[in-house]
């Protein structure tokens, strides 16, 4: 039987906030319009104009990201400096659909299509911190989704392997990760229940979809002493965020908090399991 240690840590619901981009852009836009006018008289006009909205946007995203780091992560107990630096630098808005970019740094999950979600920043940070990563680690992620968590991991460890069951999400994630220049990751389309035997064993495993129990193949692919973090529980019921450490082959489980994740699909749903 796994030993259970309780580490209750209450997760408050995300506090939605409004980006200060409206105020910000009001000041910037007249200048931008004037600059655009000037640029019209010069060359190369088109390249400069194409760059303008991106620059205006990136300034408001930077301030939203700062709020996310200070209030939603550091302010709620995230301490890992490398993790905070990674999330402070990562353009989360590029991982969400275009129409949701203004909300990309709110501390709440967002829809990324196909009925799936990108986890809220605090949960991404909390789960990552629980993995106790080292720079030399090789990590397996189940549920690539938007690829945001994959990028956070890629900033911190030597190699990340991530499996996604929906091809369209995996393809989009790959494009974003490639465009940001990451080289230390590999994505696979498939059922994460089976893990990635050829790339294992892994120093840490992160499952970002909920299941009633730890998939056995994943447990086998975890290195002795390694951590597996996942939401344990049924769909639409309260799930528990757990961390299982492999100790002499056996799981030592710590229970952290109530969470709500989309379910792990595929083999684990079959009644025979
Ligand atoms: N880590 C993601 C959040 C993903 S939400 C991010 O940062 O955006 C969970 C993801 O798990 C969804 O994209 C869903 O399609 C995927 N998923 C569900 N069942 C799966 C399975 N059996 N194998 C791999 N991925 C699965």
Cβ(138)–Cβ(161) under 8 Å? yes
Strands (E), 119-195: 138-142, 159-164, 185-189
CATH number of 3-269: 3.40.50.150
Does residue 128 line the site of ligand 1, with CB under 6 A?
no
**Rounded Cα–Cα distance for residues 261 and 20 (Å):** 29
**Rounded Cα–Cα distance for residues 221 and 91 (Å):** 31
Q: What is the mean pLDDT of residues 119-135?
A: 98
Helix crossing, 121-130 with 148-156: angle to 10°?
Answer: 40
Check pLDDT > 80 for residue 3: no
**Can you say how many angstroms the Cα of residue 204 is from the centroid of all Cα atoms in its chain?**
15
Q: What is the pLDDT of residue 10?
A: 35
Q: For 36, phi and psi rounded to 5 degrees?
A: -60, -40
Question: What separation in Å is there between the alpha carbon of 122 and the centre of ligand 1?
Answer: 18
Question: What separation in Å is there between the alpha carbon of 89 and the centre of ligand 1?
Answer: 24
Does residue 129 line the site of ligand 1, with CB under 6 A?
no
Check pLDDT > 70 for residue 1: no
User: 90: which residues sit within 8 A by CB, 6+ positions away?
Assistant: 148, 151, 152, 155
Question: What separation in Å is there between the alpha carbon of 49 and the centre of ligand 1?
Answer: 38
Domain boundaries, the chain: 3-269
Does residue 191 line the site of ligand 1, with CB under 6 A?
yes
Of the two residues 28 and 188, the one the predictor is more confident about is 188
State pLDDT tens for residues 44-74.
Answer: 433 444 444 444 457 789 999 999 999 999 9
Buried-state track 187-198, b at ≥16 Cβ within 10 A, e below 16: beeebbbbbbee
Of the two residues 233 and 52, the one the predictor is more confident about is 233
Give the active site residues.
119
Neighbours of 223 (CB within 10 A): 15
Q: What is the pLDDT of residue 235?
A: 77
Query: By alpha-carbon position, which residue is closest to atom 14 of ligand 1?
Result: 143
Question: Which ligand 1 atom is the nearest neighbour of the CA of 124?
Answer: 7
State pLDDT tens for residues 168-178.
Answer: 999 999 999 99
Q: What is the mean pLDDT of residues 201-215?
A: 97
């Amino acid at each position: 039987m796994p030993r259970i240690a309780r580490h209750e840590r209450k997760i408050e619901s995300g506090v939605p906030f409004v980006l200060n981009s409206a105020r910000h852009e009001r000041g910037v836009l007249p200048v931008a319009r004037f600059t655009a006018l000037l640029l019209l008289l010069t060359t190369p006009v088109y390249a400069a104009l194409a760059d303008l909205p991106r620059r205006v946007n990136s300034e408001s995203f930077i301030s939203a990201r700062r709020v996310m780091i200070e209030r939603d992560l550091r302010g709620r107990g995230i301490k890992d400096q490398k993790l905070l630096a990674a999330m402070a630098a990562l353009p989360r808005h590029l991982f969400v659909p275009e129409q949701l970019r203004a909300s990309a740094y709110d501390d709440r999950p967002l829809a990324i299509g196909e009925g799936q979600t990108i986890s809220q920043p605090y949960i991404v940070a909390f789960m990552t911190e629980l993995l106790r990563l080292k720079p030399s680690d090789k990590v397996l992620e189940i549920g690539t989704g938007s690829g945001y968590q994959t990028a956070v991991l890629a900033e911190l460890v030597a190699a990340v392997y991530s499996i996604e069951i929906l091809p369209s999400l995996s393809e989009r994630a790959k494009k974003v990760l490639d465009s940001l220049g990451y080289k230390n990751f590999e994505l696979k389309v498939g059922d994460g229940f089976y893990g990635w035997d050829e790339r294992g064993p892994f120093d840490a495993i992160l499952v970002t979809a909920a299941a009633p129990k730890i998939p056995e193949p994943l447990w086998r692919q975890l290195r002795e002493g390694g951590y597996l973090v996942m939401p344990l529980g049924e769909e639409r019921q309260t799930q528990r965020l757990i961390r299982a450490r492999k100790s002499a082959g056996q799981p030592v489980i710590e229970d952290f908090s109530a969470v709500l994740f989309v379910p792990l699909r595929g083999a684990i749903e079959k009644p025979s399991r």
